[in-house]
Amino acid sequence: MSYLFVYGTLRKGFNHPMAELLSRSGEYFTSGKCNGLLFDMGPYPVLTLNTAEGQYVIGDVFLLHNEHEVLTILDEYEGVGENLETGITYERLKVSIESEEGVKLSAWIYLHLGSLDHMTPIEGGDYLQYITESR
């Protein structure tokens, strides 16, 4: 079993088809944060790693019961390793996450690789809050 950190439309609070996959093959563990920057791509956000102090992305951590099945489906959904029409390329790797309780853990995460031109930064790194305030 391993952890998956989600920061966009797969977070609790969004009605998304892939969220159903997470509920079937895993369970919500905790909320947390990782060092990074979040950008608005319209229907979803993208995350890039950043080691600058105080720049975090907020998200949810899921404990995966069937890691291989879930990650295989999510890799295809996210287009890992592909150059997508949007110019986005994702990579999945493990990063350090700090849980809301202050515990460090290692979790899979989908990262944006490539240009950030013409992307709107999401101040505060919390996509759920950003979407809620935008409506």
User: What DSSP line would sit under 7-25, residue for residue?
Assistant: -STTSTT---HHHHHHHHH
Domain extent at residue 128 = 2-134
10: domain CATH number is 3.10.490.10
Angstrom CA distances, 18 to 24, 50, 87, 127, stand at 10, 26, 22, 17
Residue-wise pLDDT for 109-129, tens only, equals: 999 887 777 788 999 999 999
Number of domains in the chain: 1
Model's pTM, two decimal places? Answer: 0.91
Maximum separation of any 2 CA atoms in the chain, in Å = 39
Angstrom CA distances, 114 to 14, 47, 53, 82, 88, stand at 26, 11, 22, 12, 7
Query: Is pLDDT above 90 for 83?
Result: no
pLDDT of residue 74: 93
Give the pLDDT mean for 78-106: 85
Lowest mean pLDDT among 4-8, 19-23, 124-128: 19-23
Band of pLDDT at residue 15, cut at 50, 70 and 90: confident
Dihedral pair phi/psi, residue 59, rounded to 5°: -165, -170
Query: Is pLDDT above 90 for 30?
Result: yes
Distance, in Å, from the CA atom of 29 to the CA atom of 99, rounded to the nearest integer, reads 9
Q: Of 133, 132, 130, 126, which is closest to residue 58 (Cα–Cα)?
A: 126
